[in-house]
Amino acid sequence: MRIDLHTHSSVSDGTDTPAGLVAQAVTAGLDVVALTDHDTFDGLPEALAAGGRLGVEVLRGIEISAQRRGASVHLLGYGCRVDDRALSAELARVREGRSGRVGAMLARLSALGMPIPADVLYRQVGDSPSVGRPHFADAMIELGYVADRTEAFDTWLADDKPVFVPRYAVPVAQGVALVRASGGVAVLAHPWGRGRREHLSPDVLADLARGGLDGIEVDHQDHDQAARDELRVLAGELGLLATGSSDYHGTGKVDHDLGCNTTAPDVLDAIRARVAGRGGLL
Ligand code: AMP
Ligand code: ZN
Ligand code: FE
Ligand code: FE
């Protein structure tokens, strides 16, 4: 049983359509895949239909842009009722923040000698309701300003680089509460990836666990072996579920192939039981 609980489609910043992603999951030999686009459920109907056709179980997921004391934190939700009003309102607020900073980022790029015509950017965004920095990166690649997304982030787009403009993100404790109130299971994505470790110390993770966090993503490409080992021990001590996943983005992220990390079947069983107990829909 091969289970991958964190993937992105072109409905956020991945490069495969939802149906295309599910077809790739078949090729990768996965039995279960969760679609977890950034701040939107819009890809789920297409992915679920493709899963039915192709014989892969597709789970309803999301990756919520959250923050703790201003530092970016990503929160995965599994089995949330997608029509929950409080959750939907908060996701809309995040997406508005994403759209609302586009003009300021384009202005910064122009000032730095890298103008991006709006049509070039919006062709990269496609019909995603969740515009993100990877779309800017892809426009910069198209215009020859950078070679790939990694160079775009490392030089211009990362949180400490000149094109970064902050946007609204959900306070993480509120995110956990919203996920659970909508019937879902809340799992912190890559808690110690990309400089997050200093913001998510064991004490902070313990605090979040007391606040209802269900699990942490342990096996992730942004965690080295030592971090995985420590996080697995912490999860055990704190009574948190330990998941593993690829964080697949199609061709948008190298070294994140579908199924490169997986979640144990008994952990998925626990997620299913919690979603059922909370009235969610996985
Ligand atoms: P945003 O959603 O606009 O905050 O952009 C952050 C997203 O960009 C993350 O969720 C990742 O999917 C992606 N990302 C962050 N750093 C990199 C990187 N170095 N290379 C490629 N993608 C990245
Ligand atoms: Zn992403
Ligand atoms: Fe993430
Ligand atoms: Fe992700």
Cβ of 280 less than 6 Å from ligand 1: no
Q: What's the whole-number mean pLDDT along residues 210-235?
A: 98
Beta bridge partners of 241: 215
How far is the centre of ligand 2, averaged over its atoms, from the C-alpha of 247 (Å)? 8
Q: Is the CB of 150 under 6 A from ligand 1?
A: yes
Say if residues 210 and 252 touch (Cβ distance below 8 Å): no
Cβ 132 under 6 angstroms from ligand 1: yes
Task: Give the pLDDT of residue 245.
Answer: 98
CA 108 to centroid of ligand 4, rounded, Å: 26
DSSP H helix total and E strand total for the chain: 11, 8
Give the model confidence (pLDDT) of 104-117 as tens digits. 999 999 999 999 99
How high does pLDDT run on average in the chain?
A: 98
Q: What is the mean pLDDT of residues 132-146?
A: 98
Task: State the closest ligand 1 atom to the C-alpha of 247, by its place in the atom list counted from 1.
Answer: 12
Q: Which pLDDT score is estimated for 258?
A: 98
Write down the residue that tokens 């070679």 correspond to.
147
Residue 143, pLDDT score:
98
CA atoms within 13 Å, Cβ hemisphere of 27? 8
Alpha-carbon gap, residue 206 to 240, rounded angstroms: 9
Strand residues in 12-78 grouped as ranges (E): 32-35, 57-68, 71-78
Q: What is the pLDDT of residue 14?
A: 97
pLDDT score recorded for residue 219: 98
Nearest CA to ligand 1 atom 18: 150
pLDDT of residue 134: 98
Rounded to whole angstroms, how far apart are CA atoms 47 and 9?
9
- With cut-offs at 50, 70 and 90, classify the pLDDT of residue 2: very high
Ligand found nearest the CA of 72: 1
What is the sign of the dihedral through the CA atoms of 51, 133, 185 and 280? Answer: negative
Distance between Cα 8 and ligand 4 center (Å)? 6
37-86 pLDDT per residue, tens: 999 999 999 999 999 999 999 999 999 999 999 999 999 999 999 999 99
Q: How far is the CA of 277 from the centre of ligand 1 (A)?
A: 34
- pLDDT for the residue 92: 98
**Could you report the per-residue pLDDT of 146-190, keeping only the tens digit for each?**
999 999 999 999 999 999 999 999 999 999 999 999 999 999 999
> Tell me: the pLDDT tens digits for 10-46?
999 999 999 999 999 999 999 999 999 999 999 999 9
Mean pLDDT on 210-238: 98
Closest atom of ligand 1 relative to the 158 alpha carbon: 16
Model pLDDT for residues 195-212, shown as the tens digit of each residue: 999 999 999 999 999 999
